[in-house]
Amino acid sequence: MNKIIFLLTAAIVVAIIFFVPPIKGLGELAKIIFFHVPTAWVAVVAFFSSAFFAAKFLRTRDFSADELSARAAKLGFVFVLLSTISGAIFSKLTWGAYWNWDPRQTTIFVLILIYGAYLTLRAAVTDEKIRAKVSAVYSLLSVLTVPFLVFVLPRMYFSLHPSPISSSGVEMDSAVVIVLIAALIDATLIFIRLMRKGD
Amino acid sequence: MKLSRCRFDAVSAIVRKDFLLNLRRRATFAAMMMFALTATASLSLSTGGALLDEKFLAAILWVVIFFAAGAGIAGTFDDEAQAGTLPTLKLYGDAQAILFGKMFVAFLSLVALSTFILPIFLILFDVGVEKIFLLLVTVLLGLIGLSAAGTLTAALTTSAAVKGGLFPILLFPVTLPIFLPAIRLTEISFTVAPVDSSLLVVVAAFDAILILAASILYDYL
Amino acid sequence: MTIQFDAVTLTFGKHKIFDGLSLKFGCGKIFGVTGANGAGKSTLLKLAGKIINPDSGKVTFPDEKKIAALSPEMKLYDGLTARENLKFFARLRGKILSDEKISELGRRTGLDMKTFGDERTENFSTGMRQRLKFAILLAVDADIWLLDEPTANLDDAGRENFFAEIQAAKPEKIILLATNDKLEADICDEIITLPL
């Protein structure tokens, strides 16, 4: 798996530098989008993975599920930070400001808060049985904010952020689309690889 | 039927018990009220005379309520754990009855808090309320969600035996789906803008979700 | 009606308290649980009452049966009076106590409700609190009694009362009594000694 990930990552980097046309008027730095989108995707995947393993732990009391839940959250925290920073840079290039509390920025910031709260809770509890239990409960409680962030928030506030699914594909160069999809797959593989660390 | 009757009895017993104890030992309650008063007064004092827009005022009101509520309900289970009464309560009381009893107590004390702080807030910041009914409904709906999430979080921090500071950190992201629409609705109530009733539905829906989630998750703590 | 332990294992931190413990408790007998400090007497009672769960193995517990317990860990509400405490815990179990019932419970446990009933328990001595806890135990009418050093702070008269009540209740209850006290051990029908 390591080799595949390495080759894929290398190929994507080469493709981004040499084959993807520069985005009009934004310069080379705007290519950070190929980093931003996959990391944001993994941050969300990790969040759901963490909640999934939390539910599994509460059902089975299997401590390996707790470990996976914790690892997903730790990885998610790193990815959400990377995504936020790269997103802020892209935001500066396109909208002229690093931060403006766009619904998507709010969403990702709430994810940072939840990950932060979850990891602080884990750090604060020393007894591993109790730690597993309370962090699983918190993980499932915090996942309830997702429907709000996804469905309600964007309707409450006007968003400048391009919609990830709809129309955007049409306007994009096919090379961009292919590289972006490859980058998403690559990032997901990296996440899975990191989840399996230690096996 | 008999079971639900027994639960209702137990819930009302817990509410009455906490009411009596709070009446005799007013420390927690007084701390919550004083926190709200101090926060409101210091904000009003430091922005004295400045013209604040409705959005900002609405946000201030909810921030004050959130942190005062934190001071009031963080100790819901911790106080009992420290007094050594929690094991007795858990042994004799049905878990769901304890949760809902405590949730109701939290809600009542937050209603008392808001009854106290809302008029003071409106006077000190010289806010003109255009839609008083909307404001009251919004506050009540907001407090329901806050009590549900707050009670579960209080149970969680007690179970984890972690001290005070963690409570607001854990509670805030979870109550955000209540806060953002509530702040918007509060802002609307201060102005002549049309009411967006879908936001009321959002808050009410999340109240229901949080109550249900608290009920399910409490059994695992 | 039985409580059954099947291969119960429980660890606290690195310390293994029970390793594959199998036991069975039924009606009509007083089961004494003895052992040195830290052997897990109180923990065994908590497992029996499903207050804590084992790491592995199973505790089978009769459905719909109610537990009452006496333990030094379980405190009463000091801000409430004796009568209020008694009424509150009975109410949690859906029972409404009349004044006559309260006086009767007071008589049976040796706590004069006329004198002390309306006094807050914060002024009570340890022995008086124990009598009140004992009255609560009787008031809630449970099927399972988990007793942890139940007479530790009682005087001779208090012990006599307690022993009489426990013998009278024995036929239709599962009774577990954790103790290191000679007199308490003497009333048990069967003794389980936990190794350290």
Q: Which CATH number do you get for residue C40?
A: 3.40.50.300
C46 assigned to some structural domain: yes
Give chains near C: 3+ CB pairs under 8 A: B
Residues of B within 8 A of A140 (CB-CB) are: 213, 217
* pLDDT score of B5 more than 70: no
Q: What percent of chain A has pLDDT over 70?
A: 87
Q: How far apart are CA C29 and CA C173, in angstroms?
A: 8
Residue in B21, B94, B97 closest to C77 by CB: B21
Give chains near A: 3+ CB pairs under 8 A: B
* pLDDT score of A50 more than 90: yes
- pLDDT, average across residues A148-175: 65
pLDDT confidence band for A23 (50 / 70 / 90): low
> Which tokens is B29 given?
């309650």
* pLDDT score of B124 more than 70: yes
Three-state SS for C172? helix
Q: What is the CA radius of gyration of chain C?
A: 17
B92: left (phi over 0), alpha (psi -120 to 50) or beta: alpha
C120 assigned to some structural domain: no
C15 assigned to some structural domain: yes
Q: What is the DSSP string of B24-60?
A: H--HHHHHHHHHHHHHHHHHHHHTTT----HHHHHHH
> Which tokens is C28 given?
């009509």
Contact C171, C93 (CB under 8 A): no
C12: left (phi over 0), alpha (psi -120 to 50) or beta: beta
pLDDT confidence band for A167 (50 / 70 / 90): very low
Q: How far apart are CA A75 and CA A62, in angstroms?
A: 21
Q: How far apart are CA A145 and CA A151, in angstroms?
A: 10
Residue in A116, A121, A144 closest to B213 by CB: A144
Q: Nearest CA to CA, how far is A141 from chain B (Å)? A: 7
- pLDDT at residue A59, rounded to an integer: 92
* B191 or C16: which leads in pLDDT: B191
Out of A175-179, B71-75, B153-157, least confident range: A175-179
Distance set, CA A75 to CA A7, A43, A53, A70, A126 (Å): 22, 8, 14, 9, 21
- pLDDT at residue B3, rounded to an integer: 54
Give chains near B: 3+ CB pairs under 8 A: A, C
- pLDDT, average across residues A60-75: 91
- pLDDT at residue A168, rounded to an integer: 46
* Residue C61 one-letter amino acid: F
Q: What is the pLDDT of residues B23-44, one digit of tens each?
A: 888 788 888 899 999 999 999 8
* pLDDT score of A165 more than 60: no
Report which secondary-structure segment, H or E, holds C81.
Answer: none
* C42 or B48: which leads in pLDDT: C42
- Chain A interface test: which of B158, B180, B183, B199 (most A C-beta within 10 Å): B180
DSSP 8-class letter at C122: G
C105 assigned to some structural domain: no
Contact A18, A10 (CB under 8 A): no
What phi and psi values does residue C68 have, to the nearest 5 degrees? -130, 155
Q: What is the pLDDT of residues B150-193, one digit of tens each?
A: 999 999 999 888 876 899 999 999 999 999 999 999 999 999 88
Number of structural domains found in chain C: 1
pLDDT confidence band for B51 (50 / 70 / 90): confident
C189 assigned to some structural domain: yes
Number of structural domains found in chain B: 1
Q: Nearest CA to CA, how far is B92 from chain C (Å)? A: 6
What phi and psi values does residue B128 have, to the nearest 5 degrees? -95, 115
DSSP 8-class letter at C125: -
- Give the other-Cβ count within 10 Å of C81's Cβ: 17
Q: What is the DSSP string of A30-77?
A: GGGHHHHHHHHHHHHHHHHHHHHHHHHHHHH--HHHHHHHHHHHHHHH
* pLDDT score of C117 more than 80: yes
**Whether A121 and B170 lie within 8 Å, measured CB to CB:** yes
Q: Which domain holds residue B41?
A: 2-218
The domain limits of chain A are: 42-174
List CB contacts of B42: < 8 A, sequence separation 6 or more: none
Residues of B within 8 A of C77 (CB-CB) are: 17, 21, 83, 85
**Whether B221 and A114 lie within 8 Å, measured CB to CB:** no
Mean pLDDT of chain B, nearest integer: 89
pTM here? 0.89
pLDDT confidence band for B1 (50 / 70 / 90): very low
**Whether A113 and B173 lie within 8 Å, measured CB to CB:** yes
